[in-house]
Amino acid sequence: MLDATPPELVTVAADAGFRSIGIRLTAPPSVGVPPYDILSDGPVLRETLRRLADTGVSVLDTEFLRFEPEHPKGIPDGFLEVSARLGARNVLVMSAEPEESRTLERLGELCDRAAGYDLQVCLEFAIYTGVRTLAHAADVVARSKRSNASVLIDALHWSRSGGIPAHVKQVDPSLLRYVQICDAGPDMPGRPTHPRSFARRARKASARRGGPTAGGAGGALPPTVPLAIEAPCRATAELPAAERAKRAYRALTALLEKS
């Protein structure tokens, strides 16, 4: 529902039957998120908080932070504060840092700041980033030595990185705060070598997904791990957000009934 503003997202999610949502507090214009200001105490934030209270919908995560060598700051002003006000449990981060030492340093800094807001930091891996596989992400999190650092599996990126269920079982279940599911769709080309390819690859990954499946990882996941649908798709982009939400909920329900 990338075209829905946060207040609209709360409403369509509640009407479809979802109990939790993820909110994009910031994203590059190329991702397709409409421009809005939720990082200050303005009408968008206040209306979002009102609808959350009215519907009982909770915020599973806020998105997304990105470590880039040309942008050393990395955490927009207000991001963690607003995440906490929304009641979010997790914040998502990816790294485009080519040097692993910089990823470790910046992850530690983010975790330390997020701890002050009781937020978990979830490191997402993808073959086009500085953290390419599930094992790599788990290793980085372990070496960060931060209790609020965890690993985020996105079914598409897990599939593209050559993931198999056995890889999931090798990860400490406590590191999996939630999992993003979708149909991984057709294979993408091989990994790029330049960090500037990050945005281009992210755009492709964000538009070529199908409906929710666990991408083969379902049987290996802890039974209580929350499932988040991340499945933007050009084929259904013209449908109203409410219809897309209902379709997603029906697909998720069918998936769980088969599990």
For 141-172, write each residue's pLDDT tens digit: 999 999 999 999 999 999 899 998 899 999 99
pLDDT of residue 211: 52
Contacts 24+ apart (CB under 8 A), 133-137: 133/161, 133/162, 133/163, 133/167, 134/158, 134/161, 134/163, 134/167, 134/168, 134/171, 135/167, 135/170
The residue ranges of the chain whose pLDDT is under 50 are 186-209, 214
**Residue whose token pair is 């105490």:** 41
Instruction: Measure the CA angle with vertex 86, ends 96 and 184; round to 5°.
Output: 45
CA dist list (Å): 159 to 124, 186, 213, 223 = 13, 10, 11, 20
pLDDT of residue 45: 97
CA dist list (Å): 13 to 4, 20, 94, 246 = 11, 8, 25, 8
pLDDT of residue 213: 53
CB atoms inside a 10 Å sphere around CB 41:
13
pLDDT of residue 2: 85
pLDDT of residue 207: 45
pLDDT of residue 185: 53
- pTM value is 0.86
The span from the CA of 208 to the CA of 217, in Å, is 19
In contact, 194 and 128? CB cutoff 8 Å: no
**Residue whose token pair is 């908080």:** 49
User: Which distant-in-sequence residues (6+ apart) come within 8 Å of 243 by Cβ?
Assistant: none
Per-residue pLDDT tens over the stretch 71-93: 888 899 999 999 999 999 999 99
CA nearest to 230, candidates 51, 84, 23: 23
